[in-house]
């Protein structure tokens, strides 16, 4: 349960960085997401995690020939689509963000991926987690 909360926090931090740092990605209205937006960013991180856990594997499987043909660069397009889809689903629930086109979605997905990988380096992997916590 603690690892799930850590992953959720990592996604929330990554989304907060994107919303505040990428022009064209807005959380409701343009501007810096402040403390009052923490709940919506956490809800959005949860939606983002669900989209990546449920929809992304299906798309990866269906587009496997494209991914192989592009030497893996097709996953960038899938990540862009997942980023945009999470924002749209979030908007349906009133916690999403608006993306003003392909390039803001592309760079937003890229930054979320990079920040998530960097922050995940500080979370122990499954084997180490079991060793520490039984």
Our measurement of the distance from residue 129's CA atom to the centroid of its chain's CA atoms, rounded to an integer in Å, reads 23
- Residue 30 pLDDT: 47
Answer yes or no: is 134 within a domain.
no
- Owning domain of residue 83: 37-123
Answer yes or no: is 80 within a domain.
yes
- Residue 133 pLDDT: 66
Domain count, the chain: 1
- Residue 51 pLDDT: 92
Answer yes or no: is 64 within a domain.
yes
Answer yes or no: is 61 within a domain.
yes
Answer yes or no: is 22 within a domain.
no
List the pLDDT tens digit at each of the 134 positions of the chain: 677 888 889 999 998 889 888 888 877 644 555 656 788 888 889 999 999 999 999 999 999 999 999 998 999 999 999 999 998 898 888 887 888 889 999 999 999 999 988 988 887 776 666 677 66
Answer yes or no: is 42 within a domain.
yes
Our measurement of the distance from residue 57's CA atom to the centroid of its chain's CA atoms, rounded to an integer in Å, reads 14
Answer yes or no: is 23 within a domain.
no
> Could you say which DSSP state residue 36 is in?
G
Report d(CA 74, CA 9) in Å as an integer.
27
Answer yes or no: is 1 within a domain.
no
- Residue 68 pLDDT: 93
């Amino acid at each position: 349960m603690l690892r799930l909360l850590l992953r959720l926090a990592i996604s929330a931090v990554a989304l907060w960085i994107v919303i505040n740092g990428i022009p064209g990605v807005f959380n409701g209205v343009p501007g810096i997401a402040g403390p009052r937006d923490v709940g919506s960013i956490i809800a959005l991180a949860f939606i983002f995690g669900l989209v990546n856990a449920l929809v992304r594997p299906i798309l990866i499987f269906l587009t496997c020939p494209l991914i192989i043909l592009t030497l893996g660069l097709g996953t960038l397009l899938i990540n862009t689509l997942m980023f945009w889809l999470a924002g749209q689903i979030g908007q349906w629930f009133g916690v999403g963000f608006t993306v003003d086109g392909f390039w803001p979605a592309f760079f937003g997905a890229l930054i979320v991926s990079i920040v998530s990988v960097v922050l995940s380096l500080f979370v122990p992997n499954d084997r180490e987690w079991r060793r520490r916590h039984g």
